Structure 1
């Protein structure tokens, strides 16, 4: 806080508009060491209310006694006090001639309007302490200093020294002369306030800290809003599921006992084998499924499920300029986020795709004579093998995470060890040159010698068993699979060694090269794509395969569809396949009794039931 007396002095000058233009002279009186040096700085205008009664020339110096001090309003510059500083005090003599006390000056200061107050800290270093006007970088009022270091305007300090015989600094009273004046070449002189700088740095640090906290809170707010949206979607999904389950419960309670039993069977169908007349039916309550969400995926060809990461791995073929093959990872958790893995340029169409049960990697069989291993964690191709022919199918070894298998277009099956990247471990030629469209690694069998790995494959001729690691071993057909028709799909359940193969009727040619297929005329679907076929159930017991039965089905007459055996849904495994006539998904349960529930599938779109 500025000195109250000094502020009163500044207020005095402001009220009387004293400036260098009104500066008339400097008067000095020295009456010995015990008397006070009094300087008259500036004369009030002649028309002011407190005009001076006597004017003196600028070069004149006179002695002022006490009566002169009491008769007029004057500004007094006092010598140094005990602290060595030079205080300016404002003595205001009223009509009675009484000096105002320090307390009165404080009261007067509080009455001054805030807009007219001048802060000493703000003007120090910017103006001349003699005339209180800003100094300049050139001219008569340019900035200069005395040997003691105090700074003044050149014209003012010259007049000061010329008007005083002793030649002292106005502030510290050290002796000096005209020759000791030094001109300063500076555009602006400002006294640096160290305390203010420290305060500014402290405030800047606080502002920076507040900004970091604000940014952190903004990021958390965005994250919380995203979590809130996900939770709202999950709540909506759970509400819909609850309503559906309540509807199913009401429907089940309203049905009479035994109405959920379904009877499947086809008796005497040509081309389905001798045992197809065996009937299967479900006993007990049915298992129902609800299609919860349809997700359209452009260019999707084949997919597999990574249950550990809860994602789908979808092989896609993007059309347009330069056909591109990509893998798409899609989360099974709402909001079903997607991420593409771009395969190398020139990568041909993916024919088969299998997710590893041991790690987050995917095995790809492509028509470009390549067998590739892709990491779904880093989205990079880890390993690629060159093959003799186009790969139609692939599989991971169930008992050893390093071994992989590929079924080729020429009827061969090859085994690779991922620790050996140069060549396959073993290659076995098939019974025919028909493409191997499905390969499954079989679970370990205690009846088989150590080191021998069993593989089950499917081609158009039927099911075939292969033993890798047995010298001189040859594949052999599974009994009663060659006379069921054309094998188009194979599903395997390793938990119980359950096998379901799908067949369609064979097309027979007569001697005159005309196509005769009498069994198709009565069973061909309205769309012309579905035909009457069968699903045949096998059981692997030890080293033997047993046929448990078959059921009729509407299968594709052109494509090679995929089917699967799903464990863990109910007490017994479920077999899932597509009905090509009704465009529905068939869920068959209860071995050997089979029951079917339907969930509508639009054949024009690729849909995923979540």
Structure 2
């Protein structure tokens, strides 16, 4: 009868559980001999009851007489250790109905149901419990208020519960760590911003502390030309021997100066760029690009943010100005040093090297090899200047001659044997008027340094092209000292008159040549104690406050000198 009562749900409450002698056991529960109930899928109420010791499992045995056991329990039984399921009591209904302590079925009166609080029971047991409790009925486990309408049937044939409490705990910890990580990222960004602000303040303070020497220059002027000393800026700190500055370029707002820092094996390249504004504020930031002295710097006229550099490390780099990461880089064939170069288009450049070749590279190409040789393999002497005049017209200047590559045809313009000169020291170009000033070293035909003014004329008749280098004026000088190459500057005023700023090594001065009168109209001798390390390497002329004023900027290995040029009164000069 006891089995029949259990099948029909005839257990009033857990308090009625007694042993075979009618006495309550010590735990308030019946003996641990439990029954496994296997019910058929049909709606037949006949149920087979099998008596055997209770095996703890989570879920329901399916109606096809298969037994679904908890893997965690099997592993525990096989290993002899306690499982996670065994560590919990039966109070939550994990091992069967918490009222009658029997297994659930998937059909019939003792099928699996739950209350709205989530605790599981057999249907017949929980309905009898709620009816017996009356209006004060509640969940036997958690005492949550429960009514008949709160009984919910579950229709699964079998249920296997996986213990994922550890996973849920780890997910919670992971969520907390993610929140902490985001908080730390915000804090890190704030600290980086503060570091940048402090670094900028430090650099500004260092900039204000840069010694701006103001020597007492010796200025001599002829006519209406005025030179006025502005200032000089040191490129290196006291612990550096030399900045090794050789060249620079100007994009209308900033100078890019190629200089070096002490070699450091840990931090890579020791030569790169520093920025100087048009108001002559020197940025202390140093952008490393090369491992040896830089001889080529050229801003792109098509995209001023791009800059072309090359040097004695036999490497060419295109990068964003201020960024040390190259956009494109090439190694020069045959391991030759880079001496000069220019932009031919928005994607192509021409590179003059020490063996007299001029290589054309295309940054849009995946190849690391040059596209062509603009000198047709005829070069031998280092290329000191490459100038783009127009589309398809490139002037190539070596120390022994000047030629023009016009639509990939090489045309000689000046040759040392034909035109009787020893060596070319400098070539300056004025784009708006397409004039050149060429400085020749002393030779058999001239005892001193000579400066000559040329204009390039291009005549095209059908398929025939004629390019001429027309000499307009010459200024011979008695000066003979020309121990190093120095790039001069050629500029025009608003009235079209041309002037040159040239370094005079005899006097260690900057001479201004007035090509309207073919004479030296002004001379500014640099400070006393001028040493070999301060020898001028390159001169540029940039816009001044008015159309008839210029700033002449001279670069040495260690310093930058700024001189103001102006016309003192109205005249025809």
TM-score by length of 2: 0.47
Q: Kindly indicate which of the two structures has a greater share of residues assigned to helix.
A: 1
Question: Which one has the largest radius of gyration?
Answer: 1
* TM value normalised by structure 1: 0.45
Q: Whose strand proportion is higher, 1 or 2?
A: 2
The structure, 1 or 2, with the larger RCO (C-alpha pairs under 8 Å, 6+ apart) is 2
